[in-house]
A and B are shown apart, each in its own frame.
Chain A
Amino acid sequence: GENVEQHPSTLSVQEGDSAVIKCTYSDSASNYFPWYKQELGKGPQLIIDIRSNVGEKKDQRIAVTLNKTAKHFSLHITETQPEDSAVYFCAAMGQAGTALIFGKGTTLSVSS
Chain B
Amino acid sequence: GAGVSQTPSNKVTEKGKYVELRCDPISGHTALYWYRQSLGQGPEFLIYFQGTGAADDSGLPNDRFFAVRPEGSVSTLKIQRTERGDSAVYLCASSLLGMDSQGTQYFGPGTRLLVL
Contact = CB atoms under 8 A, between A and B. Distances in A.
A105 B99 contact: no
Interface stretch (B11-19, B40-48, B65-73, B75-83): B40-48
B109 A32 contact: no
Contacts of A73: none
Contacts, number: 60
A46 B106 contact: yes
Contact of A97 (B44, B100, B106): B100
Contact of A99 (B4, B40, B99, B109): B99
A72 to B, nearest CB: 17
Interface stretch (A14-22, A37-45, A59-67, A75-83): A37-45
A45 B42 contact: no
Interface in B18-44: 33, 40-44
B43 A104 contact: no
A103 B59 contact: no
Contacts of B6: 43
B111 to A, nearest CB: 10
B37 to A, nearest CB: 9
A47 to B, nearest CB: 11
A44 to B, nearest CB: 5
Contacts of A102: 42-44
Contacts of A110: none
18 contacts: A4-B42, A31-B102, A32-B102, A41-B109, A43-B6, A43-B109, A44-B107, A46-B104, A49-B104, A89-B43, A91-B42, A93-B99, A96-B102, A99-B48, A99-B59, A100-B45, A102-B44, A104-B41
